[in-house]
Amino acid sequence: MKFFPTLTSIVLGLSTFVFASSAKQYSYFDMKKLSEGLVDGTAPADTVLIDVREPSEYALGFIPGAHNMPLKSQGFALCKSPEEFESLLGFPKPSVDQHVVFYCQTGVRARVAEQQGEHCGYENRGIYLGSWKEWSELEAEVGQCA
């Protein structure tokens, strides 16, 4: 049988090539630990988890402890002033010294957001490429996600 790559695999492959970065890549298990720490207060205080999906997607479910910063409607939000950022998004703007971890639905928008974070001066960035798709599937397997 011949292999015909899907559009998603082509896009992910190209985005990996085009958007190579020094961001820390998180696995599901890393995210599970981070999420639990953000919820119970044991995660490092300098870590912020950012869901870059649109509000309608975020409303259907999100990783506990995450803040919503929609990439499509609020692109380059991390370059805005702290006052404008909080007014638009409803949570304090992370400082450039904080560790900011991005995720989306499948990892594509998270890569773009991570690159935007770099452009806006954030050096300590992370990305969860498995994103909501992986999280929701694995959480459903253990009965913790609707």
Establish whether 104 is a catalytic residue.
yes
Q: Find, among 60, 71, 83, the residue nearest to 114 by Cα.
A: 71
Collapse the DSSP code of 5 into the 3-class scheme (helix H, G, I; strand E, B; otherwise coil) and give the result: coil
Neighbours of 137 (CB within 10 A): 12
List all residues 6 or more positions away from 32 whose beta carbon is below 8 Å from its beta carbon: none
Q: Could you say which of 79, 104, 120, 145 is catalytic?
A: 104
Task: Answer yes or no: are the C-beta atoms of 15 and 129 closer than 8 Å.
Answer: no
Active site residues: 104
